[in-house]
Structure 1
Amino acid sequence: MSLSATHSSGDFAKVPAALDATLPDRLLHADVVGNTHVGDRDFSQERRHQVNVVDLPSKVISMTVGGLEPGQSTRKHRHNYETLIYVLEGEGKSVIGEREVAWKRGDAFYVPVWAWHQHINLSPQHKATYLACENAPHLQNLGVALREEA
């Protein structure tokens, strides 16, 4: 992985005293779940559950909309970025380390750095959908983001 940073430690004295708000060309990703790209389908197949990546120019945080079909679970995995998950619909549990966290619509939960975890839809009839926010882009921009599948 290569870093695209344009500054080094020698630029420390060049830090400006004021910010300039520069608006990127894109501020909207319309119809995130309904307008699935090929990349989302490939990523979902690799992860073995629905994952729709919110494609916006954030350099520090990411957002995805995930879905688990009735009785489906994610693969056990871990990563060195933090995750906050808000449950939009459904109910299930997540195994985080040695702990089980039961969740349902309206709940939010935390997945800490490098903890093995897996998400499980406990309903035999209803889909579970969640919104995940992570600091992965920040670590990717530093060249240190890691993810491991069990």
Structure 2
Amino acid sequence: MLFASRPSCIKRLLVIEDDPLVAFDYEHTLQHGGYDVVATVDSGEAAVAVMAAEAVDAIVLDLGLAGHLSGREVARLARDRGVAVLLVTGQCPDDAGEIALACLNKPHSPAALTGALRAIETMICKNKAPRKVAGLQTYWQPKAA
């Protein structure tokens, strides 16, 4: 399978989504986009376990999760471990910039999901402002040279 635009510094993803149909769609879309989805889980506890066992470059995270650990707590843990966080939720919270690099509003197209990850790659791999993606808010600050 050939990919028009392979991921650069983000290759291994963890999908954290409690709706099984949405999770399946994300996994399919991201794999088709050239990403390696190391796991798809529905709870914060399962997400933390995967991040402890697997190398993960980024997480695709819905804030509403099964289990006791909140999406915000998972985002903070991932961020503290140097894992890029893409929130994908019904409405981006006011504090999204404190816990994530970007937030994609639901509903969105498959192209917007892969576009959101490409935007994160542009921000962290190239230290450049990303192109606009419909429904995506980014919280990027250039790194000092």
Rg (Cα) greater in structure: 1
| TM-score range relative to shorter protein | under 0.3
TM-score (norm. length: structure 2):
0.28
Q: Which has the higher strand share?
A: 1
Q: Which has the higher helix share?
A: 2
TM-score (norm. length: structure 1):
0.27
